Amino acid sequence: MLQVRVKPGIEDRIKGFFPWIYRPEIASLSRKPRKGELVVVRDFAGKFLGYGYINPEVSIAIRILSFDKNEKVTPDLIKRRIREAYNYRKKLYINSNAYRLVHSEGDLLPGLIVDVYGDYAVVEFTTYGMAQFREAVIEALVEVLKPKGIYEKANLTAAKIEGTGVEEKVVYGEVPEEIVIWEHDLRFYINVPEGQKTGFFLDQRNSRKFVRTLVEPGDRCLDVFCHTGGFALNMKKIGAKEVIAVDISDLALEMGKRNEDLNGLSGIEWVEANAFDFLRKLDRSGEEFDVIVIDPPSFAKNRHSVPNALRGYKELCVRGLRLVKPGGYLAIFSCSFHITQQHLLDVLTEASYDVRRQVRVIATTFQDKDHPWILQMPNTLYLKGVWVEVI
């Protein structure tokens, strides 16, 4: 097996169970590496640190799968980790038939995402190294889930960076173009091939439930970057008189309308527009809302894009605070690791100064518990939300 030594000082972080080794941190290789092959990681003096896989072409060159010298990386290890992930989910009592089964590093399986939608599973390989275990992953999913079908979703970012390939296909059984899932007392259509991520934003389940505690019958609500209407439908279900849901994707809005019909609801106004432009238009018109949820896509793909991203968040907060009635609520989310909860608090503070509105934080939320994050690896905590009341 390829032997890798890291530079002095790097070993402390690895001993603390941080599973990434960046390319400049590698001191030496026992030979020229092959993309995706397994490696033994050692400190500069040659002491064992872990087993992982390597891709010398990317920034995160090595991802560690085992820190135990007696636990080598094999297909059986991958299968065992998937079984452990499944057993963990069974303890969560998620009120839905859709959940994340494997959350990459959060389940000690870097480069692997598996979402379950009822009788079907969707798998994503986000690294070249993990894709080498494709057969073991599929076998384990069939054994654990006994699904009717498994669909492999291509991650375009991973394909570009890692070279994982971009072919999407059914890899087991049959998978219909559309699946109906349930979450609490609502149902949703899922279009796996054309949906964002693996088809649905499962990580916001807890926040979709929380918004119901804020909406009162007769309220006027706004769902910005609504996708297929997760927040909008929950606000309408709990009794909002008027809900406006805005997104730039016509496909997402069409699915949202169908989700509204599926649940026997009516009265949601679905608006195809650029969210920034639409918020400015509402502001100029003097519109007011009782509850506003702003859940944008990732504005910060890397740390270099953080300053521009914060300017975008600042504008969203300014517009949102101007549109909320006194006594109303605003929620703002970040789904990027690079935008922290403190970043959100800072831009909310700045925005409140600019619009002369006093606010108090009533809650902070994170990705739901089937998207676990590892304390020693902050990167696994990516979804943050801040909920405020305008006094």
Q: Which residues are catalytic?
A: 335
Q: Which amino acid is at 343?
A: H
Classify burial at 78, counting beta carbons within 10 Å of its beta carbon; exposed 0-12, middle 13-18, buried 19 or more.
buried
* CA 224 to centroid of chain Cα atoms: 17
The length of the chain in residues reads: 391
Q: Which of 63, 178, 180, 176 is nearest to 110 (CA)?
A: 63
CA distance 197 to 189: 14
Spatial CB neighbours of 54, under 8 Å, sequence gap ≥ 6:
2, 4, 33, 35, 36, 37, 38, 39, 61, 62, 129
Q: In 132-265, at which residue ranges do the beta strands (DSSP E only) sit?
A: 149-152, 169-173, 178-183, 186-191, 220-224, 242-247
Task: Give all strands of the β-sheet with 242-247 in edge-to-edge order.
Answer: 268-272, 242-247, 220-224, 289-294, 324-334, 384-390, 359-366
- DSSP-derived letter for residue 264 is T
H-helix segments, 146-249 = 156-162, 205-210, 230-237
Classify burial at 375, counting beta carbons within 10 Å of its beta carbon; exposed 0-12, middle 13-18, buried 19 or more.
exposed
Residue 34: count other Cβ atoms within 10 Å of its Cβ: 11
